[in-house]
Amino acid sequence: MFALLISMEWIVIASQTGARIFRRRPYAHELELVDLLENPKGRLRKHDINSDKPGRGFSPTSVSRHGYMASMPPDQAAALGFAREIAKKLDQGRTHNSYDHLVLIADPPMLGMVRGALEQQTLHRVLDVLPKNLAWAKPHELPVKLRSLFERIDRERPLRHVG
């Protein structure tokens, strides 16, 4: 006998400026907002994020001073920090069994940063990814914009044998 075990999916739509986490039941197109994360630094221009000059130091073998270089541009560092915040939220959701599967939607750079920050156990729950910026889309537009993705996920969802 085959039965469909109903699971819960989190649909994550992220950008450098914010992330929305929605709940979706399989075979349904309606989305319910679970959480909203905002990143005010994502809206700032590069020179506004870190207005301080790099630090200066002295060489122990010389009397000359030198400047320290930033390891990455400030806007990229801010995006990476926000990606880690999103990943922490998703990791916590997994440990609390708030969802069974994840669908990650973001522009390619942000998608890569979020995936890179997720714990391995959380990565195993990623059902699908969509490298697309839908941060601008209104909540009522998302079911239409994601219809083909949801249909493909639901079509490929395996039935589990019970009994």
Segment 23-74, tens digit of pLDDT: 998 888 899 999 999 987 756 555 554 544 555 545 555 555 545 455 777 7
Instruction: Report which secondary-structure segment, H or E, holds 117.
Output: helix 108-117
Q: Is 27 left (phi over 0), alpha (psi -120 to 50) or beta?
A: left
| pTM (predicted TM-score) | 0.77
Report the alpha-carbon distance of residue 112 to residue 126 in Å, rounded. 13
Report the alpha-carbon distance of residue 163 to residue 5 in Å, rounded. 13
Confidence check: pLDDT of 118 > 80: yes
User: What CATH architecture applies to the domain 7-45+73-161?
Assistant: 2-Layer Sandwich (3.30)
Residue 2: is it exposed, middle or buried by C-beta count within 10 angstroms (0-12/13-18/19+)?
exposed
